[in-house]
Structure formats: structure tokens, C-alpha cells
A and B are shown apart, each in its own frame.
Chain A
Amino acid sequence: MKHTISVLLQNKPGVLSRVTGLFSGRGFNIESLSVAETLEASISCLTLVTRGDEAIIEQITKQLHKLIDVIKVSDISDSEYVEREMVLIRVKAEAQSRAEVLRVIDIFRGKVVDVSPRSYTVEVTGSASKVQAIIDILKPIGIQEIVRTGTIAMARASKK
């Protein structure tokens, strides 16, 4: 099962390698990882997507928590949450395909952020599956390069 885990940690040198070292050392897998400062510059937030059965996920969250520099670990896929990923795609866009590419981008509510005579660079955000979907559709037209951010996620606010 896929789990999205959110980790608050001290924003200090070497902390990220403690996290990644834990995953490689214990044979846990990381599907994606993204990290940046929070409102407080001394604390970073790391969003990590991983897979495993219940026992493995339990170990992952406990082991993360055991790291001294980790402040808080939450498996946000336990509750309602929103997740987003962003992708930049440089797709071939020549005379005969330019309109077609624009149509696809429109359907996915993407944006063209750079144009050249033979390509568009497109920005799309959405869930990991939406991002995957546009990649799959543009592939036959000719993708020259892509960069994905990895998932970030947040638990939904209480509705009460």
C-alpha cells in the first residue's frame, strides 16, 4: 500500500542524509521525496511517499521518529488529505502538432511557460496520477525532457 508521510525536522546540515540513510540501511523504499523550509526557518517539512504493508509502515514511522533531529512524523494517508505534484515537460511542438499539444495542456489545466520554434515547456500540477496521465498522453507526441517535484501533501483541515 502507498503511504504519504509528512515529517517535520530540524533544518540542519546532514539531517536529510539521516533520513535517506535510514531508508537505504533498512531496505525501505522511497518513491518520492520533497523537502523545504516551513514558516519557521529552523524547521523543514519533508513529504515522503513510500510503499509497504502495515508492519513496514509502522517500522518506518517509528524509525523516523527515533531520529533525534525529527520533530514530528505523521502518516497523512491515514486521514483525508490533499496531495500535489508539479511537473515541467518539454514537449515537441512542431507546426502540425502545436494545436494538439495546446488542447491537451488545456484539458489538464496546464500552462505553457516557455516556447521555442519546435517545443513548448509546460507546467502542470495535480495529484501524482494526474501528472502521470499527461505524461502518458504527451509521450507519443514526443517528450524531450521532464522534471517532477515529487509529491507534497497536507492533511485536510477539520470541517467542524
Chain B
Amino acid sequence: MEKISGSQAIIRCLQEEGVKIIFGFPGGAVIDLYDALMDSDLINVLVRHEQGAVHAADGLARVTGEVGVALLTSGPGATNGVTAIATAYMDSIPMVILTGQVPTALIGNDAFQEVDIVGITRPCTKHNYLVKDAKDLVSTLREAFHIARTGRPGPVLVDLPKDVVAKMVDFPEKKPIRMQNYQPTYEPHPGQIEKACKKIIKAKNPVLYVGGGVILANAHEELTELARKLNIPVTMTLMGLGGFPGSDPLSMGMLGMHGSYTANMAVAHSDLLIAVGARFDDRVTGRLDAFAPHATIIHIDVDPTSISKNVKVDIPIVADCKYALTAINNWFNTASDFNREQVAASHEPWLATIDEWTKKHPMCYIDEGEIIKPQYVIEKLDELTHGDAIITTEVGQNQMWAAQFYKFNKPRQWATSGGLGTMGYGLPAAIGAKMAFPDKTVIDVAGDGSIQMNIQELATAKQYKCPVKVAILNNNYLGMVRQWQELFYNKRYAGTVMEVTPDFVLLAQAYGAVGLRATKKSEVEAVIKEALATDNTVIMDFAIAREECVFPMVPAGKATTEMLLV
């Protein structure tokens, strides 16, 4: 067999897996790999900080469903990536992170730029490897991709000592991967499906509670079919937005801490909660004993550890969401002792109650003339992009307003750091998304605080002609923390007032991007239109009502029915 270098083998593995773009930052330990990249057709995006590389790969993965790939050097390169790896891990994003490592002979010697990245990332990767022997290189990479994208997806890190990558290796043909110790369950248990369906028929007040798993499993069509067929109202988690069309009359929007009044009330009064690819996060459940207290709970999840972790489940279904929903739909399509119209009609009184809640407390805000309300900015973004843009976010109030007021009708148009809540996620993620879909409008909804955490990636956007748009909802505060201080800490704004903030318009210009500003409501539309029409990276700086709060809000540890409202 013809031998090739380890770095060439790695690149062939990437090509074999369908990778087209990788994000990275070089250093001594990965020069060989970079050298080999030069001769390949892979697009190699040079970011400005390793956190940006991993978030960009994550953004690409979320909008495409493919495995995102990042390449970092050893030591500080690898540690700089850790926050972004943890971000992907918390949200179950399929990624492979390649890190350089010092030569095997030096491992353990506190060599220059040595760090035990496998040890450091053990709790924030789905799995990780240190390749000590060149003959394991190809099989390890193939396994890494397999693990990253199957079952409950997640980031997998492969640490590559410099000498291993330099060795000559065989490149055997790829065979289907079978791992004795790793076999995710895809097919649901038919008995559990039948049990679930029989419960669904009997329920008077059912609610579908949809999480990011539906999007990861590409199960939105099956979910939509089920909801519409049986007339079941749907609420989504932050990660689940787009899993069901946000403008559908059956959509109640998001639930949880900043969810809609309707969604939280519906869950609290439901007699059957059908959780699909969701994990009963504390931001969703609020006080646990008051969460869905009257409901029988059906839980579909590919990860058995998610089931009955926080909330005791009555009918667990361990399966891929797509397979399970297909089985449920099939059961309803073929069962004889059941009348679809009758079941759908029986939910009308429940839907009427839900309508009442929405009428009483719709998702809303108070208009204050020429003062720019952040919610208005999001509504305008939604309107002017026809609800069709890819939206990424930073973290804080900006993120919650984007989640509440943009109507996500399709999956994979929404990339936000849900589980870890990582400020600085949005801009690099937007770059990753835009690199994957150059023809789509990609907007990072940002806060003035968060955007500064990875602002350096404006240069990346510029270099790769990647005209992402950044909409800063500028309140000159670390707004979400300030909101907690306003509501629960006697308005003592400790550490949340940013006395110095850059002039974002000038800052954009310094990077060769375009900066636009709106300080009055009447300027908002023109700024957005101009940004969308500009073939360049644009920062829109919206001077918003400084002390606007995100409502509804369920204070931490309270029942989800105890909402603070507008």
C-alpha cells in the first residue's frame, strides 16, 4: 500500500467525511498540518482567536447539520478553544476539534506549549483521543466523526502529537464503523410507542414540548405532522425554536424563564406533556415540583441519561426523535380503533383556553415614541428579512428578545448558545453560518457587552468576504445581569455599567466594515434596509431603551406560573 504522511492522511479523512471548510489558527505543533492543507481543496479559514474558530465551526454545524471542524495548535491554542468546546457540548453540536500536541517523547515533561488538553476537555467533550501511534491515526479520526454525528451528537477532540502527524502511514479503505461499546438506540420500542399513542388519544390538555433534539434529528416535519394531525399545541425551548413553525396557530412560542405566558400556563395546566428531544433544563422547568404538576409525561430522547434526570417520566421512549415521531405518526395512520377528526376536535376547548391566555397576556412591549425598543428592532429584522434570515445571538437580553420576537418558521435558521450561555458566541457563529450559506442573510443579534468578547472576528469576516450583519442592541449595560440587579438586588448595579464602550461605528470602519447607527425609532428601518443592501460586513448600533427588561420572567427557583409580566 502506498504510504502518505500523517497530515495528508488527516486531510484525506476530512475530505472523506465531506468537510469543505475548516476554521483554525496555526502554531508550531500544527505547522505540518497547515502545510498539507495548502495543497488541498479545503477552505481553511484563519480566525483571530481560537474561541472564534470553534464557535465558527459550531455555527456551521448548527445551520447545516454537518460536522464542524476546527484546528488549533497545542497549549494556549487548545485552551483558548475550551469555552467554545464546552458551548458545543452543552448544546449537543457535532464537531471534531483537532489540536496539535508536543511530540510524544516530550509529553509529560512540561514541554513548551504542552497542556493536557485531553484531560482538560474530558468533561466537555462527547469523547476525546490522544493519538500516540501513527498507525491509529486514520481509524481514530474516522471514529471521531462517527461519534460526533451519531446518537446524541457532540464535540469530539483529537489531540495530535507533532511526530505522529509527521510519520508515514497507510490509508486503508473506509469500512462501516462498528464499535462494540458504542451503539446508540435509534428505533423506539414498539410497546412504548403504543402506550404513548393510547395516552395521547385520551388526553384532554396535551402539550408538545419540543427541544433542540428535534432539530438535531431533522425531525421537524414529523413533529409538525403530529401536531397538526391531532391538533396539539406546541411550545419550544430556546434550542428548539424552528422545530415547529413559529407562526403556526398551534405554536405557543418559547417556554421557561423568558417564555410566553401562554406556554407556561399551558404546561402548568396540561394533562399530558409530550417532551421531544428536550432535557427539562432548570431554565425551562423553574421550581421542579410545580412543573407540569398534573401531567403524564412522555419523553422521547436518544440519550437515556436525559430521561428521568430532573423530572420523573411516565413513558420513556429512548430513540432518535425522527424514528420515534415517525412510529407515532404511523400508529395514528393505521390504528383502527381511533377517529382522528374526533381526537383533533376534542382539543378545541383546550385550544380555546390557550387563546384566552394569549389574549390576556400576549408577547408584547410598551411603545415609547421615538425611544428605540429592542423588541421593535427584532420585529423589524423579522419583517425586513421575511423571517428568512439565519439569526445567531450573543448572550443576555439581546438573545432573549431575539428568541421572543423573531418568528422562526424553519429549523436551522437559529444558532444560540443555550446550555452554556457563552457571551461572544454570536459573531464567530455567524461567520461559520455565512461561510456555509453565502447566499443567505446572516445576522448576529448582539449586546454591547458580548460583542466585545470576540470582536476581533470582524477581521475574519472581512478577510473571507463574509458579509455578516451585526445588530447591537446597545444599552450600555451588561443588561441581563443589570435586570436581575434591578429586580432582585435593590438596583445595585455592581459591575454591570460599562463606562467605556467603543464607538461601534468607528470600530466597524477600523476593520474595513460598515458602521451604521440609529438613535431614534424612526431611523431603525432605514438602518436595517441599508445594512441588508450593503455587500460588506455591517455593524448596526441601535441605542435602545437602556433599562428595558425582558418579560415575561420567571424568577429563578419560582414556579413557571409565577411570571413577572410587562
Contacts and interface: CB of A to CB of B under 8 A. Distances in A.
Interface of B: 118-119, 122-123, 126-127, 130, 147, 179-182, 303-305, 308-309, 312
Contacts of A45: none
B278 to A, nearest CB: 17
10 contacts: A14-B119, A17-B119, A59-B305, A63-B305, A66-B303, A66-B304, A68-B126, A68-B182, A70-B181, A71-B181
B181 A59 contact: no
Nearest to B127: A68
Contacts of A70: 181
A55 interface: yes
Contacts of B179: 68
A62 B147 contact: no
A46 to B, nearest CB: 14
Of A62, A65, A68, the most chain B CB neighbours within 10 A belong to A68
B28 to A, nearest CB: 24
Contacts of B147: 68
Interface of B, helix, strand, loop or mixed by DSSP: mixed
Pick the 5 closest A-B CB pairs, nearest first. Answer: A62-B305, A68-B127, A71-B181, A62-B304, A25-B123
A158 B387 CA distance: 63
Of B181, B304, B312, the most chain A CB neighbours within 10 A belong to B181
Nearest to B126: A68
Nearest to B128: A14
Given A69-B181, A70-B181, A71-B181, A59 B309 contact: yes
A70 B308 CA distance: 21
Interface of A: 10, 13-14, 17-18, 21, 25, 55, 58-59, 62-63, 65-66, 68-71
Contacts of A69: 181
B119 to A, nearest CB: 7
A62 B309 CA distance: 10
Nearest to A60: B305
B308 A18 contact: no
A66 B181 contact: no
Contacts of A21: 122-123
A58 B305 CA distance: 9
A14 B305 contact: no
Given A59-B309, A68-B127, A68-B147, 11 more contacts: A10-B181, A17-B119, A21-B122, A21-B123, A55-B308, A55-B312, A62-B304, A66-B304, A68-B126, A71-B180, A71-B181
A66 B119 CA distance: 18
Contacts of A63: 305
B119 A58 contact: no
A17 B122 contact: yes
A62 B305 CA distance: 5
A18 to B, nearest CB: 6
A25 B118 CA distance: 16
Contacts of B308: 55, 58
Contacts of A13: 130
Contact of B118 (A14, A62, A68): A14
Contacts of B182: 68
B254 to A, nearest CB: 27
A14 B122 CA distance: 9
A69 B180 CA distance: 10
Contacts of B303: 66
Contacts of B118: 14
A13 B182 CA distance: 18
A147 to B, nearest CB: 28
A71 B309 CA distance: 22
Contacts of A65: 304
A92 to B, nearest CB: 42
Nearest to B304: A62
B122 A68 contact: no
A40 to B, nearest CB: 12
A113 to B, nearest CB: 36
A28 to B, nearest CB: 12
Nearest to B143: A68
B370 to A, nearest CB: 51
A18 B181 contact: no
Contact of B122 (A18, A58, A71): A18
A68 B143 CA distance: 11
A63 B305 CA distance: 6
Contacts of B126: 68
Contacts of B123: 21, 25
A55 B123 CA distance: 22
Of A14, A21, A25, A65, the most chain B CB neighbours within 10 A belong to A14
A58 to B, nearest CB: 7
Given A21-B122, A21-B123, A68 B181 contact: yes
Contacts of B130: 13-14
A21 B119 CA distance: 10
B117 to A, nearest CB: 12
A112 to B, nearest CB: 41
Contacts of B180: 71
Contacts of B181: 10, 68-71
A81 B478 CA distance: 58
A69 B143 CA distance: 12
A39 to B, nearest CB: 16
B305 A66 contact: yes
A110 B127 CA distance: 45
A68 to B, nearest CB: 4
Contacts of A68: 126-127, 147, 179, 181-182
Nearest to B303: A66
A58 B312 CA distance: 12
A60 to B, nearest CB: 10
A151 B303 CA distance: 30
A71 B180 CA distance: 7
Nearest to A65: B304
B194 to A, nearest CB: 24
B48 to A, nearest CB: 32
Contacts of A66: 303-305
B24 to A, nearest CB: 25
A13 B305 CA distance: 25
A70 B309 CA distance: 20
A158 B332 CA distance: 43
Contacts of A10: 181
B240 to A, nearest CB: 22
